[in-house]
């Protein structure tokens, strides 16, 4: 089965309706770019399991140096996906809000389902 239309016919009413409600999605692009890095996504997922973690623990979970973990955490924080709190000599990170938590967990669930569906598709 071809995945394209065999004729070109634009439906102006559909196009106009969609264009009327299309928001500027540039910030959403930045959000997904931030989570597109495997290390940052692993950090975000770890923070869905344990709500708050210090940099040292995050580094241990992802198998990196604290400097590398700090770099990625700072990147997530600068993009509004994580927040930090200093407690004495340690800095603890958490996801910035429930939306980030939902995005990460929903994306993981979708990927798991996608993997299961792909097994059912004949080669």
Per-residue model confidence as pLDDT tens digits over 80-108: 999 999 999 999 999 999 999 999 999 99
Identify the residue whose tokens are 């990460």.
104
Q: Where are the domains of the chain?
A: 25-120
CATH architecture observed for domain 25-120:
Orthogonal Bundle (1.10)
Contact 40, 75 (CB under 8 A): yes
pLDDT digits (tens, 9 = 90+) for 17-58: 999 999 999 999 999 999 999 999 999 999 999 999 999 999
CA distance 28 to 38: 18
Contact 93, 55 (CB under 8 A): yes
Concatenated DSSP letters of 25-81: -HHHHHHHHHHTSHHHHHHHHHHHHSS-EEHHHHHHHHT--HHHHHHHHHHHHHTTS
Contact 48, 95 (CB under 8 A): yes
Least confident of 2-6, 47-51, 62-66, 90-94: 2-6
Q: Which pLDDT score, from 0 to 100, does residue 5 have?
A: 82
Q: What is the pTM of this model?
A: 0.83
Burial annotation 98-108 (CB, 10 A radius, 16+ → b, else e): eebbebbeeee
């Amino acid at each position: 089965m071809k995945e394209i239309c065999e004729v070109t016919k634009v439906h102006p009413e559909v196009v106009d309706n969609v264009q009327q409600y299309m928001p500027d999605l540039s910030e959403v692009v930045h959000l997904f770019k931030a989570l597109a890095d495997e290390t940052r996504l692993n950090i975000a997922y770890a923070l869905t399991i344990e709500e708050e973690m210090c940099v040292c623990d995050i580094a241990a979970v992802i198998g990196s140096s604290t400097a590398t973990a700090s770099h990625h955490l700072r990147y997530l924080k600068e993009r509004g996906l994580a927040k930090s709190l200093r407690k004495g000599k340690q800095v603890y990170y958490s996801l910035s809000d429930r939306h980030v938590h939902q995005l990460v967990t929903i994306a993981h669930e979708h990927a798991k389902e996608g993997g299961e569906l792909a097994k059912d598709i004949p080669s």
